[in-house]
Structure 1
């Protein structure tokens, strides 16, 4: 029960935060708060994987994903690439590695490889509501390019 309330609170906080217009100076403070929290809610979609913004060629059978451009750029390539996200939808979850930047995604969305999307939803659905926790790559270990 406590977990459900926590998720509802996070979702409500997310909606309230982005339902108001903010100035550019306030944007940095809000972005810093949101990105450090590590929990997001938005649309989960899938795309044809290939050469990603991290400079590595991946394929559709790998458990990989792309972050929204705003989030990817805020984290910088060195922190975004190789970060791990645990994506949840409908009681199912999948763990993916961040390997790309999604230009068409909004903050809170995540674009998954087809194989990863199939772990949480049927491809016919195309777009589903997801929650995910992002574990940001610290840059201390440069093993993200060996993801399989």
Structure 2
């Protein structure tokens, strides 16, 4: 049988992947004008229209980052590696509950259902802390488990 990866290693793997995705998406947003919006927001914090524009860009940045993160995870976990770069560094990977390797279809299901884990205050991710199986809601839906490699 296999053992579930520790919550700490899962979290560190997530942080590594979030930094990678954040740098890429943040860099793209910076290049397309977020730097000016941010600068205007910081220099004139009393301007309501500047705040509204900043919050609009910030929301687009957040959702774009989440979408890119889900696509990145889907591709990496559905590949022969069965893991993102963060998971590889932390020595963990994702498999199906029955011990079989993830298919690209299962990986897509797992990662697209992260939205269900994310939307209600990230409760589906917090669930990992309380689940004896150390699984998030998206893991239950896709019938997957994160294990030590």
What band does the TM-score fall into relative to the shorter chain? under 0.3
TM-score normalised by L of structure 2: 0.25
Which has the larger helix fraction? 2
Larger radius of gyration: 2
Q: TM-score, normalised by structure 1?
A: 0.25
